[in-house]
Amino acid sequence: MKKFEEIVEAIVELIDEGTLKPGDQLLPHRQMAYEYKCSIGTASRAYAELERRGLTYGKVGQGTFIYGTDKDAATVGKGMFFPEESWTDGNQDLIDLSKNSYFHKETDAHLRRAFQQLAMQNEPERYLDYFDSRGRPQDRQVAAHWLREQLGAVDPDKIIVTPGVQAGLYLAMSTLASAGDVVVSEAFGYPGFRAAARELDLRLVPLEMDEDGLCPNAFEQACKRGNVKILVTAPTNHNPTGITQPLARRVKLIEIAQRYHVHIVEDAVYAPLQSRALPSYGQLAPADTIYLTSLSKAFSPGLRVGYMVAPLPLIPRLATKMTAINWMTSPVTLDMVNYLLKSGIAEKQARDLVQICGCREALAIRLLGPWLRARRDLAASPLAHLWLKIPASITMKTFVEAARDKDIVVLGGDSFALTKTVEAQHIRLCLMAEPDEKRLKSGLKSLEGLLLEADRAVKAEFLPQTFPPEITKPRARMLP
């Protein structure tokens, strides 16, 4: 048994026997290392494993606590992906800036047309049997044609049709890694990936980010520590930060992955909305990359159709795992998607969304520019989600609550932290889910007001202290 596992088992035993109770605080990492005569790194690994098992959680600046009190659901987060404060429950008065869905006024009409085309086929027998879990030949041919703009020429035999990118992430990780293996990714990322990794009992390691995204040095250091099987990365319009990795950064990360024999899983869900795309990992390193994308942003998340492009040697394993998990993606949905793609409807809607998104991002930058991450290349594809810095005078949780009081729903950055030890002082701001642009503008202006108020509080804290005149006036000297 390794030293960190010894620490974990000792703490688990204390929890099981009731010596450690929900809410109890564990020793600081340094003191724990002293108690067990090990390095701080070993103690930290033990704490990370306890958190991965859901037994503890960390509070930045406060310590590590045993999970299980009545308040923990609210403190740590409720629900698989998003906390309760982001739920709208159909309340039409709320301006929802928390969901990264793309509203288009003609989507309903396009879907009705697709349903009509499906009914006109009058071939119900095509839905009465099972088929290859990778997708039917016609499904993969249509996918290969659609993927050309993202990847260039694609061999249909390298494609597996999935029920969205979320299913693709789960399929890729369950095929490439086993319980206890290390998966690394950006320190902030899509919560669905985090949930899938934990369900698979994989050990998540967050990697430092800078203005160009995931840091190569952090990736290499993680690889040197060993047992890294997969790098999951969203290099294009990263969720939630909006960063797009430059080409040189992608090349460097590929070189490290190849040197340490690490598979790359590329989450390219935003790639279909790129007006000027950089080469993807799937293009730069096709033998080492599983590429995932879908129509959830470019058309509708309700279709639940995505595409996985993988190296040919991996296809049999992936297809077997797909059969075990889901057997196949619904042919009814696939026929609808094939019609939307072949007719050009989906492509036209994607172009419209890029234009609409550009106008909305420009509005957000005008109102909230001082609190947004600077974009060095404003000619790049517009961002539907922005990473907004919260002033130090107010906690992120308080800001989210203050926004909710003004009927605006936003998500705190901790919802996207890969582990609970990653500090967040941001919110993600989504611009495309609210149908009414006037309501969007009203919500953004209200957020601007909250931020200005928080900034004034920061400035007031550093103003020199003043006193009434009667106190500051020099006293007359008393004669002896």
For residue 80, pLDDT over 80 is answered with no
pLDDT exceeds 90 at position 45: no
Q: Give me the helices (H) in 377-462, please.
A: 396-405, 437-461
pLDDT of residue 70: 65
pLDDT at 370 over 70: yes
Provide the token pair at 135: 């997708």
Q: What percent of the chain has pLDDT over 70?
A: 87
Question: What is the separation of C-alpha 380 from the centre of its chain, rounded to a whole number of angstroms?
Answer: 21
Q: Which of 320, 292, 317 is nearest to 306 (CA)?
A: 292
Looking at residues 337-364, what average pLDDT do you find?
91
Which residues, in sequence order, are CB contacts of 114 under 8 Å at separation 6+? Answer: 336, 339, 340, 345
The residue-averaged pLDDT of 272-292 equals 91
Q: How much is the pLDDT for 473?
A: 38
**What gap in Å lies between CA 418 and CA 188, rounded to an integer?**
5
Mean pLDDT value across the chain: 85
Can you tell me the distance from the alpha carbon of 76 to that of 423, in angstroms, rounded to the nearest whole number? 13
Residue ranges covered by each domain of the chain: 3-76, 84-104+347-457, 129-330
Integer Cα distance of 78 and 194 in angstroms: 14
What is the four-CA torsion angle of 186, 190, 192, 197, rounded to 10 degrees? 0
What confidence tens digit (pLDDT) does each residue in 224-238 have? Answer: 988 899 999 999 999
Q: In CATH terms, are 3-76 and 129-330 the same topology? A: no
Cα 23 from chain centroid?
28
* Res 290 pLDDT > 70: yes
Nearest residue to 389 via CA among 403, 406, 368, 409: 368
Tell me the residue length of the chain. Answer: 480
User: What's the Rg (C-alpha) of the chain?
Assistant: 25
Domain covering 3-76 assigned CATH 3.30.460.10 in the classification: no
In angstroms, the CA 211 to CA 200 distance is 31
pLDDT of residue 122: 64
Omega cis (within 30) before 480: no
Amino acid 88: pLDDT = 57
Whether residue 393 is predicted with pLDDT greater than 90 in this model: the reply is no
Structure confidence at residue 56 as a pLDDT band (50, 70, 90): confident
Beta strands 159-162 and 306-309 are antiparallel
Structure tokens, 42: 């070993």
Judge whether residue 30 has pLDDT over 60: yes
* 80-84, 151-155, 365-369: segment of lowest average pLDDT: 80-84
What's the Cα-to-Cα distance from 155 to each of 9, 205, 305, rounded to whole Å? 48, 33, 19
| Look-up of token digits 């997969």 | 230
Q: Residue 466 has what pLDDT?
A: 47
User: Residue 33: which residues within 8 A CB-CB, separation 6 or more?
Assistant: 39, 40, 42, 43
What's the pLDDT at 395?
87
pTM of the predicted protein model: 0.77
> Cβ distance 196 to 169 under 8 Å?
yes
CATH 3.90.1150.10 fits 84-104+347-457, yes or no: yes
What is the per-residue DSSP string for 341-374?
A: HHTTHHHHHHHHHHHHHHHHHHHHHHHHGGGBPP
Domain 129-330: top CATH class:
alpha beta
Are 135 and 142 a contacting pair, CB within 8 Å?
A: no
Q: What share of the chain is helix, strand, coil (3-state, %, to 5)?
A: 50, 15, 40
As a whole number of angstroms, the distance between CA 138 and CA 154 comes to 14
Q: Are strands 408-409 and 289-294 parallel, antiparallel or unpaired?
A: unpaired
Per-residue pLDDT of 174-217, as tens digits, reads 999 998 899 999 999 988 888 888 888 888 899 999 999 999 99
Other C-beta atoms within 10 Å of 404: how many? Answer: 14
pLDDT at 2: 80
Per-residue pLDDT at 52: 66
Lowest average pLDDT, out of 263-272, 399-408, 464-473, goes to 464-473
